[in-house]
């Protein structure tokens, strides 16, 4: 249990509600900032304004999926007030406070470094990334269905990258009956892809493998689908870039060629906010239990 552990939530979207629910069930003391427009308030959970005094008490601070923007603004859909995390707030945190977020921009990482606050970037964790790959793959399938006039069954699909997202997506497409080719760079991924029934190729040869595709899904976070590669594609191809901004597709050239190409960020939060919230809730609660056990508080 997390009895006596003070957790402050600063902003966020529907995913936060699952985390609040879970931490309340574990008996932590939860305070919400930036939730004044929430329709169904949680029982026994306080709402307050963001002040240094509030943060002094916190054992943990939970920020949204993207902690802050480059100026310290916190995304908060349940309030119309602007929420800013400032130097003064960080200075008020006690040294044992742990800050959780999905991913931190340099503004937040620098503040945490400066004030020696433990920063946990949940999307960096393998377990979270693997669980998140499930709603991501479902979201990618949704986008593919929306943007094509053929079934995925029997379609020529190309997945780039066999990491946590690429692997799940390739398996999902394969399960739907698509012909799946997967672009890898490691021999062991080539071997595993062969074993799984996908047709692997090395990404260095990408241009040779795009001449007959219906769909391309990129998970490689670097420029990989260049103008030279796009030049080899049929006009019907639809390109869905899952890699984080700016993605790995030359969108300018795709548009010039009249090929549909789109960046598809944040799919778990869009297609399955409840599941995405539960994934984060599970990870945060486990980590908080470990931290508090090591510190000797919580029960
Ligand atoms: P990951 O496990 O690190 O997988 C990335 C893959 O890209 C790995 O297979 C890696 O190969 C490969 N790769 C990286 N650089 C490469 C290069 N220069 N040439 C060839 N292959 C290269 O990451 P992930 O968790 O799957 O996430 C992939 C991307 O999707 C990230 O940008 C992540 O932020 C994003 N993402 C987006 C969503 C969404 O909703 N759109 C959701 C989750 C994640 P090696 O294994 O050989 O290193």
Give the residue, by CA position, lying nearest to ligand 1 atom 25.
Answer: 164
Q: Which residues of 30-69 are buried (b: 16+ CB within 10 A; e: fewer)?
A: bbbbbbeebeeebeebebeebeeebbeebbbbbbbbbbbe
Contacts of 237 (CB under 8 A, 6+ apart): 210, 213, 214, 215, 216, 259, 260
Instruction: Show the domains of the chain with their CATH numbers.
Output: 6-122+272-296 (3.40.50.720), 128-265 (3.40.50.720)
- Find the 222 Cα to ligand 1 centroid distance in Å: 9
What's the confidence (pLDDT) of residue 291? Answer: 87
What's the confidence (pLDDT) of residue 297? Answer: 58
For residues 184 and 199, what is the distance between their CA atoms, to the nearest angstrom? 10
| Tens place of pLDDT per residue across the chain (299 aa) | 999 999 999 999 999 999 999 999 999 999 999 999 998 878 889 999 999 999 999 999 999 999 999 999 999 999 999 999 999 999 999 999 999 999 999 999 999 999 999 999 999 999 999 999 999 999 999 999 999 999 999 999 999 999 999 999 999 999 999 999 999 999 999 999 999 999 999 999 999 999 999 999 999 999 999 999 999 999 999 999 999 999 999 999 999 999 999 999 999 999 999 999 999 999 999 999 998 888 765 55
What's the confidence (pLDDT) of residue 294? Answer: 82
Beta bridge partners of 32: 9, 47
Give the residue, by CA position, lying nearest to ligand 1 atom 8.
Answer: 163
Residue 264 near ligand 1, beta carbon < 6 Å: yes
What's the confidence (pLDDT) of residue 44? Answer: 86
pTM above 0.85?
A: yes
For residues 285 and 60, what is the distance between their CA atoms, to the nearest angstrom? 11
Residue 186 near ligand 1, beta carbon < 6 Å: yes
Return the ligand 1 atom nearest residue 133 CA: 43
What's the confidence (pLDDT) of residue 140? Answer: 98
């Amino acid at each position: 249990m997390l009895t006596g552990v003070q957790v402050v939530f600063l902003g966020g979207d529907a995913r936060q509600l699952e985390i609040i629910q879970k931490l309340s069930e574990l008996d932590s003391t939860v305070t919400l900032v930036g939730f004044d427009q929430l329709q169904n308030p949680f029982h026994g959970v306080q709402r307050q304004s963001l002040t240094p005094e509030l943060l002094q008490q916190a054992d943990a601070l939970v920020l949204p999926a993207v902690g802050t923007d480059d100026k310290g603004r916190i995304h908060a859909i349940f309030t119309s007030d602007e929420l800013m995390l400032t130097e003064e707030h960080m200075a008020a945190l006690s040294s044992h406070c742990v800050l959780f977020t999905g991913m931190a921009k340099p503004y937040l990482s620098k503040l945490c470094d400066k004030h020696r606050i433990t920063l946990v970037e949940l999307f960096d964790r393998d377990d979270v990334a693997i669980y998140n790959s499930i709603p991501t793959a479902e979201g990618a399938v949704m986008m593919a269905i929306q943007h094509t006039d053929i079934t995925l069954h029997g379609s020529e699909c190309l997945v780039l990258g066999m990491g946590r997202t690429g692997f799940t997506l390739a398996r999902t497409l394969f399960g739907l009956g698509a012909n799946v080719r997967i672009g890898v760079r490691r021999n062991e991924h080539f071997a595993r892809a062969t074993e799984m029934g996908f047709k692997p190729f090395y990404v260095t040869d990408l241009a040779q493998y795009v001449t007959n595709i219906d769909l391309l899904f990129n998970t490689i976070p670097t420029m990989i689908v260049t103008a030279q590669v796009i030049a080899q594609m049929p006009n019907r191809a639809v390109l869905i870039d899952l890699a984080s901004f700016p993605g790995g597709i030359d969108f300018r050239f795709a548009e010039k060629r009249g090929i549909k190409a789109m960046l598809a960020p944040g799919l778990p939060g869009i297609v399955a906010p409840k599941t995405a919230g539960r994934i984060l809730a599970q990870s945060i609660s486990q980590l908080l239990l470990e931290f508090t056990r090591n510190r000797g508080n919580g029960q």
